[in-house]
Structure 1
Amino acid sequence: MRRLAPYQTGLWLAEYIDMRCQLCRIYHSTPQSKLLQHQAPSSLQGITGTPPTRTALKKHSFLTDIIHQANSYLSSGLFCAHCHNDITWLPRPFEVDIASSVSLSIQASTYYEYPIRQAIRAFKHQEDMTKLPLLLHAIRQLPRPHGCHRNNSVIVAMPTTNQRLVKRGFEPVSILSAQLSKHWQIPLWQGVKRIDDTVSQQGLTRAERLSNLNNAFALIKKPPVKRLLLFDDVSTTGASLQAVARAFISPTAVKSTTDSSHNSYQISAYVLAHGSKS
């Protein structure tokens, strides 16, 4: 029998023995099927695998196994109803301009504060897979865009540079967007490339963020549909999503796609977290 990684042991105990909310540690957890009022997988698969090292995370089969386990844990419940309601506020959408008389609506699933903020940072920068169930739980609160389905829409995940991918060893936004794609039953589309090596957006003012992202994204192929659903993990000012959206209506986009109706794209954006309640 394979030795369980620490995170696997902890989640197994929470599933079968502890049954307390993994945030407040006081109340009993509530099955997500009851929280979301929809059918979710209820069976727990066997817990196997190796510790989530950087090398192992690059293996598709191992990562798929982790995500499948996370979905299984979510269906049985890791949070009580109180904590579920506390972390899933569904903030009001906010808008940023992407062209003259054209704005981009950005919908977040929750606020960028405890415990989501700490979970996102640990997942992105420390490859902490134990935070994945919480993040997937939050993503599932995003409402499916009205009228969007697999035949008329695609999800466009925020692209990263090759240098950052090599440095980090895995791409957090790709993992999260793949789960959103599965939840909404809308395919992912990878037709946008990050063409520069900009510095991190953290700590920059809005003006600095916009300047940092000038001409940072470009289309490498024509979108197959007109409804484009952009996705990122965190949006502070909306500058990154704004820059991606502008790639679809820029003169370069018109040339590369030879599409005279480029301005007819219906673009909206969705993020895991934004701002704060205060």
Structure 2
Amino acid sequence: MRRLAPYQTGLWLAEYMDMRCQLCRIYRSTPQSQLLHHQTQFRLDNITNVPPTRTALKQHSFLTDIIHQANSYLSSGLLCDHCHNDITWLPRPFEVDIAPSISLSIQASTYYEYPIRQAIRAFKHQEDMTKLPLLLHAIRQLPRPHGCHRNNSVIVAMPTTVQRLAKRGFDPVSILSAQLSKHWQIPVWQGIERIDDTVSQQGLSRAERLSNLDNAFALIEKPPTKRLLLFDDVSTTGASLQALARAFIPPAAVKSATASSHSSYQISAYVLAHGSKS
């Protein structure tokens, strides 16, 4: 029998056993009028670092709990309606150039702001798996690209280096991309590696980011399909995804005025959060 990783067990429990919103911790099917009150209290409690109120939870009978549990099996949402609607989903895609006449469209699930920003930071830097259900909810907002399916497309997760993996102990993008793969029913392909030992992209200008990523990625095998769906957790300027996309274009074509004729791949990019509203 295949054993589940700890984070997989946590996701399963959050989705099928915990009937509460993964953000405000109120039952997911609580009426909107009650949610407005509890959401206000939750925000006040969160600011002062006091655990959110559980008064509403005590008001539910055993029969109501069973109804909530049944409703949860029919819903893919891990947040209550109010918390879901309080977040801006699917901002307009932005584009970066990867070669002459070739641009890369980047679609984010949401913006890199509260509460997604805090959840991503805790997940990546503190290995806080309790934040993963919220990130899973965000991933599910990304609609599967039109015309893409498991037989003609692959997800290419932003690779990490051996040094970074050893330092962190796990690869957060790999975990997130596995959830996106399950959501879209499109396999993850791992035929590209990160060969650089660059510094963190945080705090760098766009020009510095691009220079930092020169020759950062290398193909170790040919992609099995022509449609490549790049994925990363956070994108600010798009420099990392830009460099990753360029790995699939012949070096001579990157500077060629007819680069589009040299590219045989259809490449688009998706991220959990876009780091800027500008």
TM-score range, shorter chain: 0.7 to 0.9
Find the counterpart in structure 1 of residue 53 from structure 2.
Answer: none
Percent identical among aligned pairs is: 85
Counterpart CA distance in 2 for 1:249 and 1:13 is: 41
Residue 218 of structure 1 is matched in structure 2 by 218
Q: 1:115 to 1:74 in 2, by over 3 A?
A: farther
Residue 115 of structure 1 and its aligned partner are, at CA, apart by 0.5
Give unpaired runs (5+ residues) of structure 1.
32-71, 255-260
1:82-231 superposed matches below 5 A: 82-231=82-231
Q: 1:229 to 1:126 in 2, by over 3 A?
A: same
Q: Which amino acid aligns with 1:147?
A: G
Check whether the contact 1:230–1:241 (CA below 8 A) recurs between aligned residues: yes
1:210 positional shift:
0.5
Q: Distance in 2 between matches of 1:195 and 1:74?
A: 44
Deviations 1:59-94 (CA, angstroms, capped at 9, x unpaired): xxxxxxxxxxxxx89957542212112225211100
For residues 171 and 28 of structure 1, what CA distance do their matches in structure 2 show? 31
Query: CA 1:235 to 1:30, structure 2 compared with 1: closer, same or farther past 3 Å?
Result: farther
In 1, Cα distance between equivalents of 2:216 and 2:140: 29
Q: 1:95 to 1:12 in 2, by over 3 A?
A: closer
SS in 1 for 2:229: strand
How far apart, CA to CA, are the structure 2 residues paired with 1:267 and 1:120?
25
CA gap 1:181/1:161 in 2 versus in 1, 3 angstroms: same
How much does 1:98 deviate? 0.1
Distance 2:73 2:121 in 1: 21
Structure with max Cα Rg: 2
Are the aligned partners of 2:236 and 2:276 in contact in 1 as well (CA < 8 Å)? no
Letter aligned with residue 203 of structure 1: G
Contact residue 161 and residue 197 of structure 2 kept, 8 A: yes
Alpha-carbon distance in structure 2 between the residues aligned to 1:114 and 1:208: 27
Kept in 1, the 8 Å contact 2:234–2:272? The answer is yes
TM, length-normalised to structure 1: 0.72
AA in 2 matched with 1:140: R
**Contact 2:192–2:220, Cα closer than 8 Å, also in 1:** yes
Residues 75-121 of structure 1, C-alpha deviation per residue, up to 9 Å, x if partnerless?
A: 57542212112225211100000000100000000110000000001
Greater than 3 Å deviation, 4+ residue runs = 11-17, 19-22, 72-78
Query: Per-residue displacement from partner, 1:168-216 (whole Å, max 9, x unpaired)?
Result: 1110000000110111111111111111100000111111100100111
User: In structure 2, what residue type is equivalent to 1:250?
Assistant: P
Cα displacement (A) at 1:131:
0.3
Compute the TM-score of the two structures, normalised by the length of structure 2: 0.72
